[in-house]
């Protein structure tokens, strides 16, 4: 049996090494891709949590500003024609008292909040996003962001606190409609800071 030519042996050896190197590189690419997907998903969750926390902060600030504005009416009604504000901008003006530091944007969409109005009066705000909230502690039973309403509660607002969760509201009038004077009005679907089911 004749020995294999040296050149043929060298070529076969290099070919095998190239194949192993190629497989190693492919496996490395797959592992890096999986790792990158995991990091991307984790970062996406972190960003969503941050936006939801900011939504809760901004919405609550606006809600509390409206509450203070309404509460001051009895003192200022001689110089103020309306009990409720007509816009968010009105809450930021120092005339004579500033109730809100800035006109906040909706952190979920980056756009303006949807204004909840009864007639011309501003009663609250909500997001316009139809995405599903990640936080099911503060936004329990809420299917979409636009179901979360930030507005005052009490006898004069027709929005009542939910006894099961202090952040929940019920019996709120839909945006742009006048609250029903009837005591037996049905409540809206439960959700954080009062949800609203579009008609």
Q: Model-level pTM greater than 0.75?
A: no
pLDDT of residue 159: 60
Residue 174: closest CA among 189, 162, 184:
189
Residue 116 lies in a domain: yes
Residue 127 lies in a domain: yes
The tally of domains found in the chain comes to 1
Residue 121 lies in a domain: yes
Note down pLDDT in tens along the chain; length 199 residues.
555 555 555 555 555 666 678 777 778 777 777 766 766 667 778 899 999 999 999 999 999 999 999 999 888 888 888 899 999 999 999 877 899 999 999 999 999 999 999 999 999 999 999 999 988 888 888 899 999 999 987 645 556 555 555 455 555 655 444 333 333 333 333 334 554 444 3
Residue 55, domain extent = 8-170
Say how far apart CA 159 and CA 149 lie, in whole Å: 10
Q: Which two tokens stand for residue 110?
A: 């980056």
> What CA dihedral angle connects 84, 167, 186 and 62, to 10 degrees?
20
Say how far apart CA 193 and CA 191 lie, in whole Å: 6
Residue 2 lies in a domain: no
pLDDT of residue 18: 64
Residue 44 lies in a domain: yes
pLDDT of residue 176: 43
Residue 3 lies in a domain: no
pLDDT of residue 185: 36
The radius of gyration of the chain's CA atoms, rounded to the nearest angstrom, is 29
Residue 71 lies in a domain: yes
Residue 82 lies in a domain: yes
Q: Which residues contact 172 (CB under 8 A, 6 or more apart)?
A: 149, 151, 157, 158, 159, 179, 188, 194, 196
């Amino acid at each position: 049996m004749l020995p294999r030519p040296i050149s043929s042996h060298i070529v076969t050896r290099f070919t095998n090494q190239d194949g192993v190197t190629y497989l190693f590189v492919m496996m490395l690419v797959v592992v890096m891709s999986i790792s990158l997907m995991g990091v991307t998903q984790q970062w996406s969750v972190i960003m969503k949590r941050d936006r939801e926390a900011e939504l809760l902060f901004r919405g609550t600030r606006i809600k509390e500003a409206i509450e203070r504005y309404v509460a001051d009416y009895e003192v200022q009604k001689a110089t103020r024609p309306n009990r409720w504000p007509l816009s968010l901008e009105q809450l930021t003006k120092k005339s004579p008292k500033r109730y809100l530091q800035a006109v906040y944007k909706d952190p979920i969409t980056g756009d303006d909040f949807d204004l909840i109005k009864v007639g011309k009066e501003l009663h609250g705000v909500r997001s316009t996003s139809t995405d599903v909230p990640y936080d099911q502690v503060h936004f329990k039973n809420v299917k979409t962001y636009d179901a979360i309403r930030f507005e005052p509660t009490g006898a004069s607002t027709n929005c009542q606190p939910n006894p099961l969760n202090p952040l929940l509201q019920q019996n709120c009038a839909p945006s742009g409609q006048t609250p029903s004077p009837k005591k037996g009005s049905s409540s809206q679907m439960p959700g954080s800071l009062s949800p609203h089911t579009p008609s």
